[in-house]
Structure 1
Amino acid sequence: MSLRNRTFAGLLAAVMVALVPNMSFAAVFSPQTATLDNGMQVVLVENHRAPVVTQMVWYKVGSADEPLGVSGIAHFLEHLMFKGTADVAPGDFSKIVARNGGNDNAFTTWDYTGYFQNIARDRLDLVMKMEADRMTNLQLSDDVVLPERDVIIEERRSRIDNNPGALLGEQMRASLYMAHPYGRSIIGWMHEMEQLSTEDALDFYRKWYAPNNAILVVAGDITMDELLPMAQKYYGVIPRGDVLTRNRVKEPVQHAPRKVTMHDPRVGQASMSRYYLAPSYHSENAADAAPLELLSEIIGSGTTSRMFKALVVDQAIATSVGTFYDPVAVDLATFGVYGVPRDNVELADLEKAIDDQIADIVANGVTQDELERAKQKLLDSAVFARDSLSAGARVLGKSLAVGLSVEQVESWPDRVSAVTVDQVNEAAKRVFNDKQSVTGWLLPPKDGPVSGRGPVLPIDTGAGVH
């Protein structure tokens, strides 16, 4: 269980930029769905290439749903879910999965918490029984909770406090979101983590971990006729919990850009990043989400993007530059831009060059040719996703956990295909609003860099915590 130590842009490139609410129903995943009597949603993506399956249980709760003063409790409970029940001793869950030839893990973000196992088809009954058992029968006491609290505190020290990019990313999000809990650290603020108790964990568990607040997604070598009786046997007998709502504070109107500057002796090469508030597929102005996905692809995705060609190849003032955007969220999303200057280039000069690129996009827009090429790349990636056993489970689970429907997920290719140049250009004008932004500078110590240190990019710590 560890914090994903990558830039948010890297995460998106690897997992979601290609796969966000996507996929044509008949052409890619062809999911089948059902709902148990207790309200638990069941989703199946059949894949009979090998006798293996992925089981994922997604709970519709994350760090943005935590009570004030107990930041990190969602992630802490994720750890504690491995501490045992009357039938499975503390620490044995993963050992049993491994002894049966599988692997498992879990993750926490602002909007959801997920648990998964990759296992042979004939072992699905076993892992489903154990997953259902800990949904309702988790046993916690100070003897197991307090030592695990030390573990997550050490995880924060090693993954956040000892990583200047993660620290700056955390500070930037806290500045970007003035009121909304997306500005809260997923792993938690240290002074609050130190006070987390067994009762805090049990209160959170009892409130949020119920079948009607969970989604079962299975992908692999099984049919719905086989899966549904098994799901009913283990999950269907668990009583329905309370009807829950996410009480999120609405972000107020923002009136001024913010800037966060951090010097750190572990940084050898300066870098910068900027976050803009942006709509998601589940927020107001959701119609801008697909155009913004294409905008990010055009201006900052890979070596053929507009910014890379301009700043890395033509002007030769940057070693790296790009954008990131993930519109799958309960509330707002973030559109990001980042860059690393060449050794002889001042960070202020690179920032100005990036600003010039943004100004040109706002003034002159993108071209039809750029848009068509970006559409083709995104649509091609939907086809490539068929080769992955777990891609469908991850995409559908994430999307459903934030409140999207299967139909919204599956209509993504049609929405992307229908986007016009005017829609991209208008969305660009709206998202590149300096008043709704924070710029981060990550710099070597004022007395000069430590020898041998390379560039460290600011990290958007929303990548998820394991």
Structure 2
Amino acid sequence: MPFLSVSSVRCQKFFCALLCITAVFLLFSTSSARAQTFGAESFTLDNGLKVVVIPNHRAPVVSHMLWYKTGAADEPRGKSGIAHFLEHLLFTGTKNIPPDEFSKIVKSHGGQDNAFTAQDYTGYFQNIAVEKLPLVMAMEADRMKNLVLSEELVTRERQVILEERSQRTDNIPAARLGEAVSSALFVNHPYSIPVIGWRHEMEGLSREDALDFYRRHYRPANAILIVAGDITAERLKKLANRYYGHLTNPPQTRQLQRVWPAPAPLEADKRITLRDATVQSPVYQRHYRAPAGSEALEILSDILGEGTTSRLYRALVVEQKVATSAGSSYNAVQRGLSRFALYAVPAPDSDIETVEKALLDEIRKLMSGGITDAELTESKNRLIDSADYARDSLQYPAQVFGRALTAGFDLDYVEYWTERIENISAQDVMEAAQSVFGNGQASVSGILLPAEE
């Protein structure tokens, strides 16, 4: 069950692919000292723009991505949704590109483009033939500096994001439950606020709010340019200097730092129940706070609840037959605190209490008996094989590096992840499990039920 922050309606197809990347992203997380996975190189322009090139010469195409180290977690209080709103507005025109023409230009040259917003980042990309790379670099650099917003377009796009919230959150009980769980799990932390924003605050977002956020965060020193595909570092450096090198950072942003409040202590278990007439199947979820960047927790989640051979699926679905689905998830790549989540969907002749007990019994078995050498070896092989498959993709590696770098990790975190996985011991996994499930760690349970008759 993925717990992925989502962005704009213009990105639906893109994020369907990213649901697959949630699994692929278990792929990457750390360092050591052997062969690189992707052979990425990086350099930094004089204006602070970090540039990463990921060579892939299988076809004469590139994926050009500009990532900003700003997302929903960086929004001013009372302005939730402004990061995602601004993502929409960046397609409405600049001093040099007429309103709503950006994507049309990319498409006319045989490319595709889109954008996405999450808690830690906002990103824009174009997939296009390598000979068109200078064109999209010029266009992307232009809208970093020359955005033009009219009240008419702001009003139109505000209505678009409000409708997006209606379709993808307000009308979907599971999404509303997810918001409530996150609010309880990350009290006092920006992750408690949904990426899309709270409706009552979205309704008040203005042109000036968008421009203030744009001027503060959309600048070269706060951005990462990633180009994957048929390009070399030498060639990309020349192009990056030509098209991005002239951009400057506003003087008032020189001392800005990315500081978020710490989450309040989670001192007691919480239980949140949401009932809705549209719910067909009940769902049980249990969420724990967890540290980011843990390969041991990635392996733990793989063994415990990812796939039909996992412990939770075998026990609850295959053997006990009390659930139709069961599993876990963990996202290692977060700038702030992450979460470890467990879930189960009761079988037709079962109920929430039964699957909850069965799930917690499996956690107790894990904590008392540990994992086997065979489970550890098989999990490592699965994850490392997935990393090998990812090399063949054009855009997945760029996504992985972008998420890692905007979360504060470095290139080695991605490049040498497989070595870190290889070096994890069973003791490491159990110590990580203890940090999440042991010592009376509090959790937040989310329960989705049909409306009472």
Say which SS state the counterpart of residue 387 (structure 1) adopts.
coil
Aligned partner of 1:31 in structure 2 is 40
Say which SS state the counterpart of residue 196 (structure 1) adopts.
coil
Moved more, 78-87 or 240-249: 240-249
Aligned partner of 2:292 in structure 1 is 280
Q: CA deviation at 1:21?
A: 5.3
Distance 1:205 1:54, change over 3 A: same
Task: Please give the alpha-carbon distance, in whole angstroms, between the structure 1 residues aligned to 2:225 and 2:105.
Answer: 20
Aligned partner of 1:170 in structure 2 is 179
Q: CA deviation at 1:411?
A: 2.2
Q: CA deviation at 1:28?
A: 2.4
Check if 1:401 corresponds to 2:413.
no
Moved more, 171-180 or 235-244: 235-244
Aligned partner of 1:364 in structure 2 is 369
Identify unmatched segments of 5+ residues in structure 1.
282-288, 448-466
Distance 1:14 1:27, change over 3 A: same
Say which SS state the counterpart of residue 337 (structure 1) adopts.
strand
Task: Please give the alpha-carbon distance, in whole angstroms, between the structure 2 residues aligned to 1:155 and 1:15.
Answer: 27
Say which SS state the counterpart of residue 53 (structure 1) adopts.
strand
Aligned partner of 2:190 in structure 1 is 181
- Is the Cα contact below 8 Å between 1:12 and 1:326 reproduced in 2? no
Match of 2:121 among 100, 112, 125: 112
Match of 1:443 among 429, 437, 449: 449
Normalising by the residue count of structure 1, what TM-score does the alignment of the two structures yield? 0.91
Check if 1:137 corresponds to 2:146.
yes
Identical aligned residues as a percent: 47
Q: Any idea what the Cα deviations from partners look like across 1:336-374, whole Å, max 9, x if unmatched?
A: 111101100011100110011111112221111111110
Say which SS state the counterpart of residue 391 (structure 2) adopts.
helix
Q: CA deviation at 1:19?
A: 3.9
Structure 1 vs Structure 2 CA RMSD = 1.9
- Is the Cα contact below 8 Å between 2:279 and 2:449 reproduced in 1? yes
Task: Please give the alpha-carbon distance, in whole angstroms, between the structure 2 residues aligned to 1:318 and 1:121.
Answer: 49
Distance 1:184 1:331, change over 3 A: same
Say which SS state the counterpart of residue 227 (structure 1) adopts.
helix
Aligned partner of 2:221 in structure 1 is 212
Q: What letter matches 1:272 in structure 2?
A: Y
Task: Please give the alpha-carbon distance, in whole angstroms, between the structure 2 residues aligned to 1:319 and 1:8.
Answer: 24
Say which SS state the counterpart of residue 310 (structure 1) adopts.
helix
Q: Any idea what the Cα deviations from partners look like across 1:178-219, whole Å, max 9, x if unmatched?
A: 111101011000000000000000000000000000000000
Q: Any idea what the Cα deviations from partners look like across 1:436-463, whole Å, max 9, x if unmatched?
A: 311011001111xxxxxxxxxxxxxxxx
Aligned partner of 1:45 in structure 2 is 54
Match of 1:414 among 419, 426, 429: 419
Say which SS state the counterpart of residue 436 (structure 1) adopts.
coil
Distance 1:303 1:275, change over 3 A: same
- Is the Cα contact below 8 Å between 1:176 and 1:436 reproduced in 2? no
Normalising by the residue count of structure 2, what TM-score does the alignment of the two structures yield? 0.94
Match of 1:380 among 376, 381, 385: 385
Match of 1:55 among 42, 60, 64: 64
Aligned partner of 1:201 in structure 2 is 210
Q: What letter matches 1:389 in structure 2?
A: L
Q: CA deviation at 1:20?
A: 4.7
Check if 1:316 corresponds to 2:328.
no
Aligned partner of 1:459 in structure 2 is none
Say which SS state the counterpart of residue 240 (structure 2) adopts.
helix
Q: CA deviation at 1:227?
A: 1.1
Q: Higher RCO, 1 or 2 (CA under 8 Å, sep at least 6)?
A: 1
Say which SS state the counterpart of residue 45 (structure 1) adopts.
strand
Q: Any idea what the Cα deviations from partners look like across 1:373-406, whole Å, max 9, x if unmatched?
A: 1011111111111110112111111101111111
Task: Please give the alpha-carbon distance, in whole angstroms, between the structure 2 residues aligned to 1:435 and 1:427.
Answer: 13
Q: What letter matches 1:337 in structure 2?
A: L
Moved more, 22-31 or 393-402: 22-31
Identify unmatched segments of 5+ residues in structure 2.
1-7
Task: Please give the alpha-carbon distance, in whole angstroms, between the structure 2 residues aligned to 1:377 and 1:24.
Answer: 21
Task: Please give the alpha-carbon distance, in whole angstroms, between the structure 2 residues aligned to 1:259 and 1:194.
Answer: 30
Moved more, 48-57 or 26-35: 26-35
- Is the Cα contact below 8 Å between 1:19 and 1:381 reproduced in 2? no
- Is the Cα contact below 8 Å between 2:28 and 2:417 reproduced in 1? no
Check if 1:249 corresponds to 2:292.
no
- Is the Cα contact below 8 Å between 1:20 and 1:326 reproduced in 2? no
